[in-house]
Chain A
Amino acid sequence: MVLTVLGAAVLVVAAVIVAELLRVGGPSLAQTGLWSFVKNSVWDVTRDVYGALPFIYGTLVTSGVALLLALPVSVGLALFLTEMAPPRVRSIVSFPISLLAGIPSVVYGLWGLFVLVPLLRRPVEPLLARTHLPIFTGAPIGLGYLAAGIVLAIMILPTITSIAIEVLRTVPGSLREAALALGATRWEAIRTAVLPYARTGIIGATMLGLGRALGETMAVTMVIGNSPTIRASLFAPGYTLPAVIANEFAEASGAQQTGALAALGLLLFAVTVLLNIAARLLVRAVRRGPARVAA
């Protein structure tokens, strides 16, 4: 009974949040229209023009960079710890990983600001610029999408790694042995037997990491440069949905700006919900197995 009430309370809290966001943000959304709000790339407080696109773009780009960097490292680390490392190494390495998860995000932001950003300014970004890729062009100022993506990658690393470890532990030893008995090397056994079995769980771990990256506010605000612009280059400063809400809400002038910020909050909420639904669908599709999907 008590648990039912508590469970219901969670739903009530979620509903209250959405209702409040709708109450504050609804009017301005209704005025501009959802679609034109989403696709408008100008955010100019002085002219009372509010477009969400730079923030959506910044949120997706930083989270994407974070996933791209964190996923291979996390899965590799989890594989190393479950498949190769002797038990003692496993416990020694597992501890700092769980420690990473407990560091407050403002500390990550400080580290990003004082260590990562200067490093990016020189030598990392000038070196990357030599590749002449469009995503690595422009002034190497350090603050920007890349810095935010890297900080996020480090923040979601422990989340993905620790879940991936749990997932890999559920792989039956008999599958590993089946591959080894067929003449697989250790790595081949991982590729043919372990990873396919763990795929669903690793996708789930990734989605949890992505969820954290999308919503992270403080650390990103400190290193992204806070500029409501859309640039192809990862060196450029940008902005994210949570960062702009945190920065502007307290000093918002007038109902229009407050409304636009609340609408951004709604968008963030919607993105997270959609992502969770997508993750569930993906996990379900993968769990059904490639054999019958392909047939």
Chain B
Amino acid sequence: MNETKIEVQKLNAWFKTTHALKDVSLTVPKNTVLAIIGPSGCGKSTFVRCLNRMHELVPGARQSGKVLVDGQDLHARRVDPVDLRRRVGMVFQRPNPFPTMSIFDNVVAGLRLNGIRGNYDEQVEKSLRQAALWDEVKDRLQHSALSLSGGQQQRLCIARSLAIEPEVLLMDEPASALDPIATAKIEELIHDLRATLTIVIVTHNMQQAARVSDATAFFYLGELVEHGPTEEIFTNPREPRTEDYVTGKFG
């Protein structure tokens, strides 16, 4: 087993009075993909948003427990959420490129924000290649990001996240708004990115979880019901609730 990249201990999260996550503990080894599955409203998104401290931006949101990345507690007082989010990137459910910027400017947006200098042309090419988008856009980098299709926009957002070279990439249902072909491209990408990154992906598509992940965690009503190697979760789950969900009895 690889060394531990993310360790979550007794994580609880609330929105005002709603208890969205209950005592969740799990670990993610380095350079692996963890899939989070579960029905809507089970706390999947809240969970990943706790991993880069986006959860606390919602008015009325609270949390308790520990999240450690490389052994360092994210909520320690000296951890600046702004620095943290540079190390833990995020891709959202709907593609959200900056609409007034060109493709090029979208990719370097994070570099500019973090004051990273260097050869932007090279970095743009590298990030777009990593996101499997380079060949489609190399001749129109100055076009608006909105000139791309939805699937291309999502890969642009992935390239934008990759440009600042994060250690962890959180993906919140990155393919739910995309067609099957675009989805397949994103899944391929996740396979390749594992070499350099640790990935946590939320999905409510169980085939997707089975295809892309090394480990799977099943959430239900804010609780972590079961967490284990993906194959086990899908073929031989310990919990009856997990079995009911992965076999499609509810969801």
Interface check B195, CB cutoff 8 A: no
| 8 new A-B contacts at CB < 8 Å, known A181-B85, A289-B99 | A175-B99, A177-B96, A180-B85, A182-B86, A182-B113, A184-B82, A294-B102, A295-B142
Q: Across the two chains, which residue of chain B brings its CB closest to A185?
A: B82
Task: Tally inter-chain residue pairs, CB-CB below 8 A.
Answer: 91
Whether the pair B98, A196 counts as a contact (CB closer than 8 A) is yes
Interface residue SS majority, chain A: helix
Asked if B82 and A291 make an inter-chain contact with CB atoms under 8 angstroms apart, the answer reads: no
Tell whether, in the assembled complex, residue A182 and residue B160 are in contact, meaning their CB atoms are under 8 Å apart: yes
Docked complex Cα distance between A46 and B90 (Å): 75
The answer to whether residues A179 and B161 also contact, given A196-B101, A289-B99 and a CB cut-off of 8 A, is no
Could you give, for residues 147-189 of chain B, a 1 whenever the CB lies within 8 Å of some chain A CB and a 0 otherwise?
0000000000100110010000000000000000000000000
B125 at the interface (CB under 8 A from A): no
* A178 contacts B by Cβ under 8 Å: yes
Cα A179 to Cα B114 in complex, Å, equals 11
Taking the nearest CB of chain A, how far is it from the CB of B77, in angstroms? 18
A295 to B112, CA, bound (A): 21
Given A180-B85, A182-B89, the answer on whether A292 and B54 have CB atoms closer than 8 Å is no
Q: How far is the CA of A125 from the CA of B96 in the complex (A)?
A: 49
Closest Cβ of chain B: how far from A45's Cβ, in Å? 52
Q: CB distance B94 to A182 under 8 Å?
A: no
| A102: Cβ under 8 A from any B Cβ | no
Binding site for A on B (CB under 8 A): 52, 54, 57, 59, 82-83, 85-86, 89-90, 92, 94, 96-103, 105, 109-110, 112-114, 142-146, 157, 160-161, 164
Enumerate chain A residues within 8 angstroms of B146, measured Cβ to Cβ.
289
* Nearest 6 Cβ contacts at the A-B interface: A183-B86, A291-B102, A182-B110, A181-B90, A196-B100, A174-B96
**Taking the complex as formed, is A169 at the interface, i.e. its CB lies under 8 A from any CB of chain B?**
no
- Between A and B, 19 residue pairs with Cβ closer than 8 Å are A87-B59, A172-B96, A174-B92, A177-B54, A179-B98, A179-B109, A179-B113, A182-B164, A183-B82, A183-B114, A184-B113, A192-B98, A192-B109, A192-B112, A291-B101, A291-B142, A291-B145, A294-B142, A295-B102
How far apart are the CA atoms of A208 and B99 in the complex, in Å?
Answer: 25
A289→B105 CA distance, assembly (Å): 13
Residues of B within 8 A of A289 (CB): 99-100, 144, 146
A212 at the interface (CB under 8 A from B): no
A-side interface size class: 20 to 34
Cβ contact within 8 Å between A183 and B110: yes
Decide if A188 is an interface residue (CB 8 Å cutoff). yes
> Known contacts being A177-B96, A193-B98, A289-B99, is A183 close to B143, with CB within 8 Å?
no
Partner of A182, one of B85, B100, B101: B85
Q: Are B142 and A174 in contact (CB under 8 A)?
A: no
Answer whether A181 and B52 are a contact pair too, CB < 8 Å, given A192-B109, A199-B100, A290-B100: yes
Q: Kindly provide the distance from the CB of A2 to the nearest chain B CB, expressed in whole angstroms.
A: 40
CB B50 to nearest CB in A, in angstroms, measures: 13
Query: A268-295 interface mask toward B, CB cutoff 8 Å, 1 = contact, 0 = none?
Result: 0000000000000000000001111011
Q: Do B143 and A182 touch across chains, with their CB atoms under 8 A apart?
A: no
Min CB gap A184→B, angstroms: 5
Report if A43 contacts B (CB, 8 A).
no
Flag A189-224 by CB within 8 Å of B: 1 or 0 each: 000110011010000000000000000000000000
Collect the chain A residues with CB atoms within 8 Å of residue B54's CB. 177, 180-181
How far apart sit A181 and B93, CA to CA, in the bound complex (Å)? 13
CB neighbours of A199 from chain B (8 A): 100
**In whole angstroms, how far apart are the Cα atoms of A183 and B96 in the complex?**
15
